[in-house]
Structure 1
Amino acid sequence: MAIIRDIQFYFIVVFLWLLSRLLLQHLFKKPTTKPNLHLPPSPPALPFIGHVHLLSPVVSKCFHYLSSKHGPLLYLRLGSRPLLLVSSASYAAEIFKTNDLAFSAKPKTPFDDGLLFGNAGFITAPYGDYWRFMKKLCVTELLGASQLERSRGVRREELRRFLHNLVEKASKNESVDVGQELMKLTNNTICRMVMSTRCSEEDDEAQTCRELLEESIALAGKLVIATMLGPLKRLGYWVNRKQIEDVPRRFNELLEKILKEHEERAKRESGERKDKDLMDILLTVYQDENAEFRISRSQMKAFFLDLFIGGTDTAANTMQWLMAELINHPNIFKKLREEIESVVGANRLVHDSDIPNLHYLQAVVKETLRLYPLLPAIPRECREDCKIGGFDIPKETAVMINAYSIMRDPELWDNPNEFYPERFLQEQENQKETKKQNFNFVPFGGGRRICPGSQLALSVMNITVASMVQCFDWKLAGDEGKVNMEAKAGMILSMEHPLLCLPMIHFNPVSA
């Protein structure tokens, strides 16, 4: 015990010495920014840490408070890293449209330092030949209309499994964790679309992938703080070195195993298969010697992880917020069910083909995305010196487009904090006037790096919510009068408290 105490003492001494040395270097360091730059407004900063003291765990509320107090365009410094916080639709339009190419990069993340597959992923890839090739492939093959149609049967089957499970719970008068059930649904759906496996398979590959992904995101969160402190980030990496080595190794082994299974199946089966999953499609591109861009095996694996990150948590979180709002607003729930029954009737389950005629449903989903965007702060990075709103933005400045504040801006939205889906019905009537993106509403980002999976996400959310409203009444477990809408700490906007409900059968999908 004495030896351990001595080690701890010396570690603390060394750490304090390093910290004080870095602090002194910072105090006497000459400014690195170019002279005579007309930078955006900046709140008072502290030595060494800059504006880190202004941050709080719930990122959406923190950025919203900063923009409300200090303005819609702020130049912040997080340790040694400059950050531009953009919180108005007009400034967002300058980034997503006017200066789209200049802001087509993504900021460096802990993943770039070797965690998982480094910067081989599509989401965080530098703007260049690889990114352009994968974006084209996403639009035409991987996440385009043809693949959505091809995967319709898989998505329908997983939805029916989800509803049947809820029927069993309702029959036994058991409560369910709505968020957890939705997470299983989206995870199984993405797994089957990507690699034709689900959580109930013998090897439990989908669940293993899910658990590894959760470990990776948690580890990345720990390392984000370290990256803000310049040279001190090495200390954070040293503390977490075992996880940094272990998680990528296990992920690589899992995906390599599934890739080999797909390759062997392709050799056994000749001809054009109609049930190709995304892994089959990408393997065909990988093996094509005449492809426009030769992707690597690591890039393939990283792309699959991007699909899990972008398609599992985000959609499930949005649907959980949506169901919570419907429970808190029974009049909206009733109006939505009446629309579904008027279009679908009383004898069958709602289909994907019904969605275009369910205008109020689409408005409810959009209103949820407005209040609870998938990613409340959308990251970008400036690739070259440019100007926004007349201010100078130096090259390599990280940018956060504050979608949460933009979509709650009282100058753009009446009663911005109110859940009022009717506001989007008028927009649907005016949609024919223009097909240009409205930068008042940016749940999927904007510009050339807008989320390529937005149509898949909307498709999954629309049909899932419609089915949950058509088939069940929802009662909160316990004595709570209303759902607690407190948000959890983190970059992704998710609910702090589980949504525990008792489903009661209104229309039985099993007998339909």
Structure 2
Amino acid sequence: MMHLKLGEVDAVVVSSAEAVAQVMKTNDLTFATRPGTPTQDIAGCGGRGIIFAPYGDHWRQMRKVCIVELLSSMQVRRMESIRPEEVGNLLADIATAAAARNSINISEKMMELSNNVVSQAVFGGRFTQQDEYIHELDVVLTLLGGFCLVDLFPSSRLARWLSFGARRMKKSYGRMQRIIADVIEERKAARAAGDGASSTDDEDLLDVLLRLQNDDSLGFPLTTKSICAVLFDIFSGATDTTGTILEWAMSELVRHPETMFKAQLEIRKVLGQDRTIIKNSDLGNLHYMRMVIKEVLRLHLPAPLIPRMARMDCKIMRYELLKGTTILINVFAVSRDPKYWKHPEAFLPERFENNNLDYNGTHFEFTPFGAGRRQCPGMLFGASTLEITLANLLYHFDWVLPGGASPESLDMSEKFGMTVGRSSDLQLIAIPRGCIKHM
């Protein structure tokens, strides 16, 4: 454990699985809230959403809505048709580029796929001003991932005046709210005209939220601003994270051709010949591919530091922590600690063979999606998109670097934001299955 003084903020970094377990399990209720910062207050719309909301009745009710309504079995079934459709569009674009022997910007394609899957889930398709919304979302997430002066000196008027990033974030978030408010009004007008979902079975996530807006059982008003905040959480949690993990998965596989071949061999053997779009229901026996995904998550965590805040005085690893102390859970360090991982810097999916290590939050040396009360509620949603996309990419195509470059030459440097992505876009050549010998 390490104490840091970040401006006016007292922070403690925990970097061992034992300390992580004490924060996320033993003292989970004590650390069930997020540190409140001025920029997070902007992105969380004053605590109206889920991700940045402080622990309390509002957060509990919103998380319940997320799990019971937004991620219900009914919505999961809806997604079973959405993902194959969007993956099919992706494969068609790749096939066109492959026929022309053009390189493909995998980073761009993975982010586009993630955005479209979430748009389908939330709105039933692409929505007006989607590109502008995604652009402003990128601005907000980039600013959130950095250090803003007002977050370090929250009591300082000078720091507030000098925090251009916070003002830029507020401007972008305001634009996002206006875009979603317009979509909500359009949907309400369609419902009033009898052109909405015919039953709850046909509802997209926006329909669910609008239905709950008229439900008095929540215990608080679900305003348009609250809906905007929830949709921000869904887009930021599901698009940026999923797209980033997919680009890292393809990066690691291209850099390790023997691993990619092994994964492709399993997928093609299990699924047989002449498949078109692989669905999530087809993926039950792809054990090695799932090991690949786990290893990608170990090396390329969606969020290398997970923030929590002490709601009361407590003790962690013999150290007394005061109420209000910010805790930074260094999952990056834990996931590369040789105490828990043999050859921690190496990409070795086989390390997950014949063990029960999973990312469900019960193994504290491997918590890419967090654990406890604040664990990511959309974890299974994101994992399903990861699996179906990667399976289709490896089943239908072989992949090489442009210009015959060697796998070892691939730049793996990182850039930091809300998630840690590649510093440069991943460009690859796709070769339709069975054609590599002719290239």
TM-score by length of 2: 0.92
Q: CA deviation at 1:243?
A: 3.2
Partner of 2:64: 136
Amino acid at match of 1:294: P
Separation in 1 of the partners of 2:118 and 2:34?
Answer: 24
Alignment deviations for residues 105-161 of structure 1 (CA, whole Å, 9 cap, x no partner): 101233345457233221000101111111112222212333111222111111100
Separation in 2 of the partners of 1:282 and 1:412?
Answer: 43
Amino acid at match of 1:332: T
Amino acid at match of 1:495: R
Q: Cα gap change, 1:115/1:145 in structure 2, threshold over 3 Å: closer, same or farther?
A: closer
Partner of 1:236: 162
Alignment deviations for residues 42-65 of structure 1 (CA, whole Å, 9 cap, x no partner): xxxxxxxxxxxxxxxxxxxxxxxx
Answer yes or no: is the 8 Å Cα contact 1:122–1:306 preserved in 2. Answer: yes
Q: CA deviation at 1:101?
A: 0.4
Matched, 1:399 2:327: yes
Aligned length: 427
Answer yes or no: is the 8 Å Cα contact 2:41–2:52 preserved in 1. Answer: no
Answer yes or no: is the 8 Å Cα contact 2:49–2:62 preserved in 1. Answer: no
Partner of 2:15: 87
Q: CA deviation at 1:283?
A: 0.9
Amino acid at match of 1:104: A
Matched, 1:317 2:244: yes
Separation in 1 of the partners of 2:378 and 2:43?
Answer: 24
| The 10-residue stretch of structure 1 (134-143 or 402-411) with the greater mean CA deviation from structure 2 | 134-143
Q: CA deviation at 1:248?
A: 3.2
Q: CA deviation at 1:414?
A: 0.9
Q: CA deviation at 1:222?
A: 6.2
Matched, 1:286 2:210: no
Answer yes or no: is the 8 Å Cα contact 2:44–2:53 preserved in 1. Answer: no
Separation in 2 of the partners of 1:358 and 1:224?
Answer: 43
Q: Cα gap change, 1:264/1:107 in structure 2, threshold over 3 Å: closer, same or farther?
A: same
Aligned counterpart in structure 2 of residue 171 of structure 1, from 99, 114, 137: 99
Q: CA deviation at 1:498?
A: 1.5
| The 10-residue stretch of structure 1 (380-389 or 113-122) with the greater mean CA deviation from structure 2 | 113-122
Amino acid at match of 1:334: F
Aligned counterpart in structure 1 of residue 390 of structure 2, from 460, 465, 471: 465
Aligned counterpart in structure 2 of residue 446 of structure 1, from 362, 371, 375: 371
Q: CA deviation at 1:305?
A: 0.4
Partner of 1:412: 340
Matched, 1:369 2:297: yes
Q: CA deviation at 1:170?
A: 0.4
Q: CA deviation at 1:358?
A: 0.6
Separation in 2 of the partners of 1:247 and 1:505?
Answer: 41
Aligned counterpart in structure 1 of residue 123 of structure 2, from 192, 195, 217: 195
Answer yes or no: is the 8 Å Cα contact 1:116–1:247 preserved in 2. Answer: no
Q: Cα gap change, 1:308/1:491 in structure 2, threshold over 3 Å: closer, same or farther?
A: closer
Matched, 1:248 2:173: yes
Cα RMSD after superposing both structures: 2.1
Alignment deviations for residues 298-317 of structure 1 (CA, whole Å, 9 cap, x no partner): 11110100111111111111
Answer yes or no: is the 8 Å Cα contact 1:154–1:192 preserved in 2. Answer: yes
Aligned counterpart in structure 2 of residue 226 of structure 1, from 129, 135, 150: 150
Alignment deviations for residues 85-116 of structure 1 (CA, whole Å, 9 cap, x no partner): 01110000001110000000101233345457
The unaligned stretches of length 5 or more in structure 1 are: 1-72
SS in 1 for 2:180: helix
Q: Cα gap change, 1:370/1:144 in structure 2, threshold over 3 Å: closer, same or farther?
A: farther
Q: CA deviation at 1:467?
A: 0.5
Separation in 2 of the partners of 1:149 and 1:498?
Answer: 33
Aligned counterpart in structure 2 of residue 121 of structure 1, from 46, 49, 57: 49
Separation in 2 of the partners of 1:112 and 1:413?
Answer: 34
Answer yes or no: is the 8 Å Cα contact 1:83–1:397 preserved in 2. Answer: yes
Partner of 1:216: 140
Alignment deviations for residues 31-79 of structure 1 (CA, whole Å, 9 cap, x no partner): xxxxxxxxxxxxxxxxxxxxxxxxxxxxxxxxxxxxxxxxxx1111111
Separation in 2 of the partners of 1:84 and 1:241?
Answer: 24
Alignment deviations for residues 153-189 of structure 1 (CA, whole Å, 9 cap, x no partner): 1111111001100000101111011111100000111
SS in 2 for 1:151: helix
Answer yes or no: is the 8 Å Cα contact 1:167–1:505 preserved in 2. Answer: yes
Separation in 2 of the partners of 1:244 and 1:142?
Answer: 27
Q: CA deviation at 1:489?
A: 3.3
Q: Cα gap change, 1:327/1:287 in structure 2, threshold over 3 Å: closer, same or farther?
A: same
Q: CA deviation at 1:424?
A: 1.1
Alignment deviations for residues 363-401 of structure 1 (CA, whole Å, 9 cap, x no partner): 110110011111111111111110000101111111111
Q: CA deviation at 1:275?
A: 2.5
Separation in 2 of the partners of 1:472 and 1:275?
Answer: 34
Alignment deviations for residues 313-370 of structure 1 (CA, whole Å, 9 cap, x no partner): 1111111111111111111111111111121101213221122211111111011001
SS in 2 for 1:126: coil
Separation in 2 of the partners of 1:116 and 1:90?
Answer: 31
Answer yes or no: is the 8 Å Cα contact 1:470–1:507 preserved in 2. Answer: no
Answer yes or no: is the 8 Å Cα contact 2:148–2:165 preserved in 1. Answer: no
The unaligned stretches of length 5 or more in structure 2 are: none
Identity %: 33
Bigger Rg over Cα? 1
Q: Cα gap change, 1:474/1:284 in structure 2, threshold over 3 Å: closer, same or farther?
A: same
Separation in 2 of the partners of 1:151 and 1:298?
Answer: 26
Q: Cα gap change, 1:249/1:507 in structure 2, threshold over 3 Å: closer, same or farther?
A: farther
